[in-house]
Structure 1
Amino acid sequence: MNYDVFLFDLDDTLLEFDTSEQNAFRNAFTEAGLVEGLDAYRTEYRAISKVLWRQLEEGSTTMEQLNVSRFSQLFDKLGIELDPVSFSETYLTLLGKEAHLIDGVIDMLDSLGDVRLAIVTNGFIKAQIARVACSSLNNRFETIVSSDEAGFQKPRPEIFQEALDRLGVTDKSRVLMTGDSLTSDIRGGNNFGVDTCWYNPNGLENTTDSKPTFEISNWVEFKVNEKATN
């Protein structure tokens, strides 16, 4: 099967997220004058954030609610008197300055040749556009579709339809969706009816009902799989 339309997740697929989050989190608290206990703050934040992002995938919260709730819950738990709305805006601005490419991504994109490329992300559009723009990914993608902008989050099929509508593509057999998350990227591709590639650098076991068409552990393997489908 020939693919000439490639949809990619962004965080932990093309750009490494942990360092970006850590730096933006630290810098946001530093700007707020709180520099002690940041490791403990971030541990609590990540636990709260993990629950909220899972709720987003399940459709039980919204991007707008998540954006504020992750910090309002954190501040309540730690007894910190900061405005979660303004703090979240600061955090997203700082996150937009953090772009850390995963090894092999640019070589992989260069190897694809004359194809259509788009990013489909559950991240916030403000930060995601800025991160792509300040990286070597800039000007490589025709569109970036984010859940807060589209009004739907992965794994909902509507966000993938939004990507194809923007590209003017109707034939799903031409499309390959690639990402690191079984529950959003691969399940989303399954729900939408396109082939999928699970980027699994840590060799995790698939214990979900999501069924990737391909599985790779690095971007060199993606080239092999892509060629094998032609």
Structure 2
Amino acid sequence: MNYDVILFDADDTLFDYKKAEDYALSSVFEEFGIQSPDTDYVAIYRTINQELWNDFEKGAISLADLRVERFSRLFAGTGLTIGADEFSSRYLSYLGAGAYLIDGAVELIEELRSKVRLAIITNGIREVQLSRFSKAGMDQYFEHIIVSEDTGYQKPHLGIFEYTFNKLGITDPGRVLIVGDSLTSDIQGGLNSGMDTCWYNPHNKQNPSPVQPKFEIKQLSEVLTLL
């Protein structure tokens, strides 16, 4: 056995984040009566949201500020007069209900649970992530669900991985594999902390960056071949 522990990312690795986000946005926009054939609010929001998450990875904005700021910018840029705090709260409630798993996620975790120790390491919002794992019945499979909010650091910062190693009693990072879809957070973070890395790349994206994972897979079931 090559690894004692496998750390999984959550969004777009085990959970279909876009599907959850689509559900949450359509639900909250409907609740607040936001609709216009001339303005693509979803596209504008996604651009703003991605920019802010990139800033979060760099430590340029806190998660508490991010969760409201994205809607403040959306409303300011589109002329909508809606309270961003209330809107954010309702959006997160819907997002936490969107427990849509990636195909093969349950089967993989059920197969792995008897072979290696499993944990989650995610930059997502704590209340959202815990809600989704609970609703999907996936929380029972992992020793710990480690959320950046609880650690004071976010991937790829070494601090969140040191927190994780302490939590799990890991003394040899070389016996740990991290699996995730993000080169900048999961793979870079894994490289920073001395773990082997597995890039989940189902859409066959090109990687022109200097961040090079040890493994690359297109289906979750391929993780089994790495043990």
Is TM more than 0.5 here? yes
Question: Letter of the aligned partner of 1:158 in structure 2?
Answer: G
Written as runs of structure 1 = structure 2, the 5 A alignment for 1:10-159 is 10-37=10-37, 40-112=40-112, 113-159=114-160
Deviates more, 1:137-146 or 1:16-25: 137-146
Classify 1:204/1:189 alpha carbon distance in 2 versus 1 (closer, same or farther; 3 Å): same
Check whether the contact 2:2–2:226 (CA below 8 A) recurs between aligned residues.
Answer: no
Matched position secondary structure for 1:53: helix
- Residue 211 of structure 2 corresponds to 210
Contact 2:202 2:219 in 1 (8 A): yes
* Paired letter, 1:181: S
What letter corresponds to residue 133 of structure 1 in structure 2? S
Q: Give 1:36 deviation, angstroms.
A: 4.0
For residues 35 and 78 of structure 1, the distance between their equivalents in structure 2, rounded to whole angstroms, comes to 12
Cα distance in 2 for partners of 1:110, 1:195 equals 22
CA contact (8 A) 1:106 1:136 kept: no
TM-score of the aligned structures, taking structure 1 as reference length: 0.93
Query: Partners of 2:37 and 2:71 in 1: how far apart?
Result: 16
Q: Is the 1:93–1:127 contact (alpha carbons within 8 Å) kept by the matching residues of 2?
A: yes
Over aligned residue pairs, what C-alpha RMSD do you find?
1.5
Letter in 1 for 2:203: N
**Cα distance in structure 2, aligned partners of 1:164 and 1:30:** 43
Instruction: Tell me the CA shift for residue 38 of structure 1.
Output: 9.8
If the length of structure 2 is used for normalisation, what is the TM-score? 0.94
Single out whichever of 202-211 and 17-26 deviates more from structure 2. Answer: 202-211
Amino acid at match of 2:195: V
Any idea what the Cα deviations from partners look like across 1:33-84, whole Å, max 9, x if unmatched?
3244597110000010111111111221111121111000000011111111
Report what 1:178 is aligned to: 179
In the TM superposition, residue 136 of structure 1 has moved relative to its aligned partner by 3.7
Q: Aligned partner of 1:21: which letter? A: E
3-state SS of the aligned residue for 1:96? helix
2:110/2:141 contact within 8 Å kept: no
- Match for 2:124: what amino acid? G
Contact 1:15–1:100 (Cα < 8 Å) also in 2: yes
Q: Which segments of structure 1 move beyond 6 Å, counting only runs of 4 or more?
A: none
Structure 1 gap segments, 5+ residues each: none
User: 2 CA distance for matches of 1:214 and 1:75?
Assistant: 41
Identity of aligned residues (%): 43
The residue type paired with residue 222 of structure 1 is V
- Residue type at the aligned position of 2:163: E
Structure 1 residue 149, shift from structure 2 partner: 2.2
Q: Secondary structure at the match of 2:3?
A: coil
Q: Distance in 2 between matches of 1:114 and 1:124?
A: 29
Tell me the amino acid that sits aligned with residue 58 of structure 1: K
Give how far 1:138 is off: 2.8
Contact 1:26 1:38 in 2 (8 A): no
Tell me the secondary structure at the aligned position of residue 139 of structure 2: coil
**What amino acid maps onto 1:106 in structure 2?**
V
